């Protein structure tokens, strides 16, 4: 058995629900959606499959930082939690002998900005259901990595109660 996080994980799960609903409205829906562990999203590819070309939408817990402490209790009263949401797609192909026409880049940019609109909508969804103060961060494009392009946004949630002192375990 392992302890269940009651601070950051519930926020990430709620954000994933909002992101999932927002990307369902896109013309080109990302196939892969979920929580991403670690410090950055991982763009996996095999001989037969490329996660970016299938479309990837994720929520990543960037940080959970104590805001204040109370020496009489568990120690931490509340946290600031930063979430990253992102969408990655297949980048325009690079050919050895020819440069792709600008229409290919125009289409890729339009898709990237449609993804940005979906991420903004997901953050609005999250903020509409949150009782805590939140700060929307900037949208930033990803550097093209391998065959992947995309963008990310952050959301900072303030004053999240310190619930991890409770003895909750996973089923």
Answer whether residue 12 is part of any domain: yes
DSSP 123: H
- In angstroms, the CA 13 to CA 49 distance is 26
Surface-to-core class of residue 63, CB atoms within 10 Å of its CB (0-12 exposed, 13-18 middle, 19+ buried): middle
Answer whether residue 68 is part of any domain: yes
Answer whether residue 2 is part of any domain: no
Answer whether residue 62 is part of any domain: yes
In this prediction the pTM is 0.87
Domain CATH number, residue 150: 3.30.70
Domain range enclosing 118: 8-161
pLDDT per position in the chain (171 positions), as tens?
Answer: 567 778 889 999 999 999 999 999 999 999 999 999 998 888 877 767 788 889 999 999 999 998 876 655 567 778 899 999 999 999 887 777 888 889 988 999 999 999 999 999 999 999 998 888 999 999 999 988 778 899 999 999 998 887 766 554 444
Answer whether residue 138 is part of any domain: yes
Give the pLDDT confidence score for residue 170 in this predicted structure: 45
- In angstroms, the CA 104 to CA 118 distance is 21
Per DSSP, the three-state class of 158 is strand
Answer whether residue 169 is part of any domain: no
Answer whether residue 3 is part of any domain: no
Which residues, listed in sequence order, are joined to residue 158 by a DSSP beta bridge?
A: none
Query: Into how many domains does the chain fold?
Result: 1
Answer whether residue 166 is part of any domain: no
In which residue are the tokens 């103060």 written?
133
């Amino acid at each position: 058995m392992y302890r269940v996080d009651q601070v950051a994980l519930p926020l990430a799960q709620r954000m994933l629900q909002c992101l999932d609903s927002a990307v369902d409205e896109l013309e080109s829906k990302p196939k892969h959606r979920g929580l991403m562990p670690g410090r950055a999203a991982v763009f996996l590819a095999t001989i037969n499959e490329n996660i970016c070309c299938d479309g990837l939408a994720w929520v990543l817990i960037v940080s959970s930082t104590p805001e204040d402490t109370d020496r009489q209790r568990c120690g931490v009263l509340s946290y600031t939690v930063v979430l990253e949401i992102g969408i990655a797609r297949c980048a325009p192909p690079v050919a050895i002998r020819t440069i792709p026409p600008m229409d290919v880049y125009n289409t890729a940019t339009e898709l990237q900005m449609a993804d940005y609109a979906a991420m903004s909508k997901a953050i609005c969804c999250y903020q509409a259901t949150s009782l805590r103060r939140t700060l929307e961060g900037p949208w930033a494009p990803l550097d093209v990595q391998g065959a992947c392009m995309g963008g990310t946004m952050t959301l900072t949630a303030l004053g999240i109660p310190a619930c991890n002192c409770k003895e909750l375990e996973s089923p």
